[in-house]
Amino acid sequence: MMVLETLFVTTARTKRRVRESSCSINLAKQTATFRLTSYAALHLTITVLLAARRAYAFVLSSTLKDSRNLSAEITRLFSTTTSAPTVTVTLSHTDFNAAAASTPSSSQEQDEVPPVIFLHGLLGSKRNFASIGTSLAKQQQPSRQHRRILGVDLRNHGETSKQPCSSMNYQDMAGDVLEFMNQQSIPRAVLIGHSMGGKVGQACALLEPKRVDGLVVLDIAPVSYSSEDAHWKAVQDIIQTMCQVQVGPGVTKAQVDLQLRNAVPDPALRAFVLTNLEQRKGGECQWKIPIETIADQLEQLAAFDVPTSHQYHGDVFFIHGGQSRFVKSSYLGRIGEYFPNHLLTTIRGAGHWIHAEAPDDTTALLKRYLNR
């Protein structure tokens, strides 16, 4: 049983202004009793309290021309304080230790260090890090504690796309990763993310710094991109072309490849895009991922929705492709604001997909970071 008691006290100045407008506002003491039978009721009660507090502050500080202004403002306050709860998505994952046959003994399990979780980029999947993840698992030094090496499919990607989700902002996707860690009984992890996955990793570190033991970001910055950036415009064009490609019964993978050729002239990049295409029973060719939803969320994916008031003081390693434009010198100030203890290095001959274009260099840098 909770009693909510709100007393609106009108100052002398407010009374005078109200009298001049020929309006009398009698704000009396009101008592309401709420029976909290569920979490939803508690959430609603807190929402009402916050809205009432903001309305009270408005009465004391605002110039009221007439009573209709007050009514309209209070209506706006109550209508904008309620938000839908965040819904997490269960992420499909793989264990690269199993592929490397490096399962720890029972004694090693007791001394396990924070695992590594790989986070792929847009249109990618956990398979993108299969080679590097397996290599890191094999190269673990016997004298060191065992470390799990995992990869996940982010929402609307890979096997996780079987649970399509309409929202793809980075705070929500970070929530998916943190919930995955809860499900796997992982209190802290080292996150390694490329492009979109790099932004997800940065959001995790900024929102829940105690859960992140280290962070490696592959060729992306915590900034908002736009169609004025040629590199992001190219991404938009690829997604839009995928939406327009004719798929369905009688359409082969070779025909889809031909339709993509103008928008994606690079054969390697086109092959990467086509990993999201599947030939279903009966010969029907369809996208495995909800491409229309991803297209609708491009603005969210281009942005970075974590306030600059957040900081992560752990070790952050940015690896930039020398031929890529996703990390510019003008972004270094924002990187420093979020991550005071960061180091940035460049693989000169690589582009945006540095882990695919320079796997040996990327693996060597990751190994050095993990063994620091």
Q: Is 231 known to be catalytic?
A: no
State how far the Cα of 205 lies from the Cα of 318, in Å rounded to an integer: 14
Catalytic residue among 195, 320, 324, 355: 195
Work out whether strand 113-119 and strand 277-279 pair parallel, antiparallel, or are unpaired.
unpaired
Structure token digits, residue 211: 């859960």
Strand partners, 287: 277
Contacts of residue 53, defined as CB under 8 A and 6 or more positions apart, other chains included, come to none
State how far the Cα of 250 lies from the Cα of 244, in Å rounded to an integer: 17
Q: How many residues does the chain have?
A: 372
Catalytic residue among 120, 194, 320, 352: 352
Q: Is 355 known to be catalytic?
A: no
Q: Is 226 known to be catalytic?
A: no
For the CA atoms of 181, 179, 167, 235, the dihedral, rounded to the nearest 10 degrees, stands at 0
Q: How many CA atoms lie within 13 A of 203 on its CB side?
A: 24
State how far the Cα of 275 lies from the Cα of 242, in Å rounded to an integer: 12
Contacts of residue 153, defined as CB under 8 A and 6 or more positions apart, other chains included, come to 91, 92, 93, 120, 125, 126, 159, 160, 161
The one-character DSSP state at 277 is E
Q: Where are the beta strands (DSSP E) in the chain?
A: 2-6, 30-34, 93-95, 113-119, 147-152, 189-194, 212-218, 277-279, 285-287, 316-321, 342-347
Closest CA to 294 of 97, 123, 117: 123
Neighbours of 299 (CB within 10 A): 12
State how far the Cα of 259 lies from the Cα of 40, in Å rounded to an integer: 50
91 close to 164: Cβ distance less than 8 angstroms: no
Contacts of residue 272, defined as CB under 8 A and 6 or more positions apart, other chains included, come to 123, 124, 353, 356
Catalytic residue among 20, 109, 112, 292: 292
- Please identify every residue annotated as catalytic: 195, 292, 352
